[in-house]
Chain A
Amino acid sequence: MMTGIRLRMRDELEQRYNILRLNALNSATRVLDDPSIRLKLVDNATYTAFQQWDKQPNRIKDWDWPSTLQQWKMNFPKRFEAAAWKNNKLAGLSLGRPTYAGTGLRLDYIEKAPVTDIRLVETMLVALTAYSSLLGANHLKIMHPVNAAVRDYYVSFGFTYISKQDCCIKRL
């Protein structure tokens, strides 16, 4: 149970980093090649739209984003979170946080909508890079690519696969 002072500190951190998250997502949205894409924080509209994913048979992972996102919102005020919308349809979700000592920024989870034509990785990496610049991180890590095709796709953007940690890393 959080004490009053810890709750207040958490809320202050949450507010401070929420401004940085918004800066990062808005900046990324401005520079993307596709004007039909919007990056937003996760909200109730995201959860509602996510219900459509749950019904799709070709989802690559059966992850419960809403409950995980709520846990992360409580526990990780410095987290990176983003919902990518294309033509007002939820096209992808991602979630990350700073590394142990904060020198890097991890993308712990990313999932592309079962049916969409967005280039999700590019979209999220632009936002992640913008957020990392505000945190002063010097590298990005994409954790646990789900298969070799996905891993190789990250590598094509200059990441290096580190087998020991099952992640792809790039220095900024």
Chain B
Amino acid sequence: MADIKQIKDKQDEKLKGKSDEEKALAAARRAMEEMRSKRHLKEPDQLASGKSDKNGNMVIEELTPEDEIDIDEENNKDSK
């Protein structure tokens, strides 16, 4: 994880003043590299994520300030 962060920080520095196309491509390349390195499990054949209402319909979930969380804080809570 630290390696990926370092790569990202270096890339961010290099990408200052670059076009959106260049930024998107650099991020996509970095993400693809990470996917390859973490490709350990077979993807489930049936795969979905998202919220349904009681009738099984897709819903537009309301966004709240609680949506913004401190990831590290939440990680610590979950690991306790």
Contacts and interface: CB of A to CB of B under 8 A. Distances in A.
Contacts, number: 176
A100 B67 CA distance: 6
A8 interface: no
B74 A156 contact: no
Contacts of B31: 28, 125-126, 129-130
B48 A111 contact: yes
Contact of B44 (A62, A126, A150): A150
B61 to A, nearest CB: 7
Contacts of B57: 63-64
A95 to B, nearest CB: 8
A31 interface: yes
Looking at chain A's contact residues, is the secondary structure mostly helix, strand, loop, or mixed?
Answer: mixed
B27 A132 contact: yes
A157 to B, nearest CB: 5
A110 B49 contact: yes
Give chain A's interface residue range (CB within 8 Å of chain B): 35 or more
Interface in A114-172: 114, 119-122, 125-127, 129-134, 139, 142-146, 149-150, 152-154, 156-158, 160-165, 169, 171-172
Nearest to A101: B68
A150 B49 contact: yes
Given A60-B48, A100-B66, A110-B47, 9 more contacts: A110-B48, A110-B49, A111-B48, A112-B45, A129-B30, A144-B51, A149-B44, A153-B41, A172-B8
26 contacts: A19-B20, A23-B24, A30-B28, A31-B28, A32-B32, A33-B36, A60-B46, A63-B50, A63-B56, A64-B57, A95-B50, A100-B65, A101-B65, A104-B68, A111-B47, A120-B47, A130-B27, A131-B24, A133-B27, A143-B49, A150-B44, A150-B49, A153-B47, A158-B1, A160-B75, A171-B71
